[in-house]
């Protein structure tokens, strides 16, 4: 399978790229600064670009079988760059007939299956107070993906760590079988699995260790 990875040079995106290559996939890694990726492989194509640039996004999506996005806001500003970039990704997928989209989002972006406890509400309130624009950007991203007619999976995550992979991922919803942390490596493995697994198609599970 040929997979385009957006956010490829980020701390989670690099895990996705490395694991996809190790599994025998071809990878198109989209990165603003390719030197940060630090990965070389005969089945890796690196596309340098900005997700705000429609032509560059279109180049990365052309000819792939699936798209994985680990994009997230880097600053708490009301410019909603990830939303705009996701619009470009979805448009490129429509243009090239690519159906499968797997994205990540914070667990604070809600889902109808959630059953948040008191502490979940407190954490979410704090998030909206200190990082309101980050939250709003990802909320808009999730709404965009849900409104598309693509074969999407939204993977929601709690606090991310750089711990070694455990190989054990707990899948649930906020307040229902979800822990407080997950390693980036385990998150990447779960996201990669979703490109060919329909178990969570059109769902937004929350995962943790």
Each residue's pLDDT tens digit, 23-66:
999 999 999 998 999 899 999 999 999 999 999 999 999 999 99
The residue that leads in pLDDT, 76 or 140, is: 140
Compute the distance between CA of residue 203 and CA of residue 209 in angstroms, rounded to an integer.
Answer: 19
pLDDT band of 17, cuts 50, 70, 90? very high
Each residue's pLDDT tens digit, 88-119:
999 999 999 999 999 999 998 999 999 888 77
Domain containing 49 equals 2-208
The residue that leads in pLDDT, 123 or 105, is: 105
pLDDT band of 177, cuts 50, 70, 90? confident
The pTM for the full model equals 0.95
Compute the distance between CA of residue 57 and CA of residue 8 in angstroms, rounded to an integer.
Answer: 13
Each residue's pLDDT tens digit, 135-172:
999 999 999 999 999 999 999 999 999 999 999 999 99
Residue 74 is predicted with a pLDDT of 86
Q: Give Cβ neighbours of residue 46 (< 8 Å, ≥ 6 apart).
A: 8, 28, 29, 31, 34, 37
| Count of structural domains within the chain | 1
Each residue's pLDDT tens digit, 181-205:
999 999 999 999 999 999 999 999 9
Residue 149 is predicted with a pLDDT of 96
Identify the CATH number of the domain in which residue 143 sits.
3.40.50.720
Show the tokens assigned to 52: 């705000």
Residue 116 is predicted with a pLDDT of 83
Residue 1 is predicted with a pLDDT of 97
Residue 121 is predicted with a pLDDT of 72
- Using H for helix, E for strand and C for coil, what is the string for 152-168? EEEEEECEEECCCCCCC
Residue 208 is predicted with a pLDDT of 97
pLDDT > 80? residue 130:
no
């Amino acid at each position: 399978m040929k997979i385009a990875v957006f956010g490829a040079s980020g701390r989670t995106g690099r895990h996705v790229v490395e694991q996809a290559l190790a599994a025998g996939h071809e990878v198109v890694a989209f990165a603003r600064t390719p030197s940060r990726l630090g990965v070389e492989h005969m089945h890796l194509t690196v596309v340098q670009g900005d997700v705000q640039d429609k032509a560059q996004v279109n180049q990365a999506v052309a000819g792939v079988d699936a798209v994985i996005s680990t994009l997230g806001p880097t600053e708490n500003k009301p410019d909603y760059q990830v939303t705009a970039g996701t619009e470009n990704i979805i448009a490129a997928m429509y243009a090239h007939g690519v159906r499968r989209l797997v994205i990540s989002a914070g667990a604070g972006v809600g889902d109808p299956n959630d059953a948040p406890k008191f502490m979940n509400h407190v954490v979410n309130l704090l998030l909206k107070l200190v990082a309101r624009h980050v939250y709003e950007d990802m909320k808009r991203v999730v709404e965009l993906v849900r409104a598309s007619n693509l074969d999407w999976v939204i993977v929601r995550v709690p606090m991310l760590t750089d711990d070694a992979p455990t190989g054990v991922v707990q899948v649930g919803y906020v307040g229902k079988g979800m822990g407080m942390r997950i390693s980036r490596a385990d998150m990447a493995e779960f996201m990669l699995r979703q490109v060919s697994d329909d178990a969570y198609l059109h769902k937004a599970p929350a995962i943790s260790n």
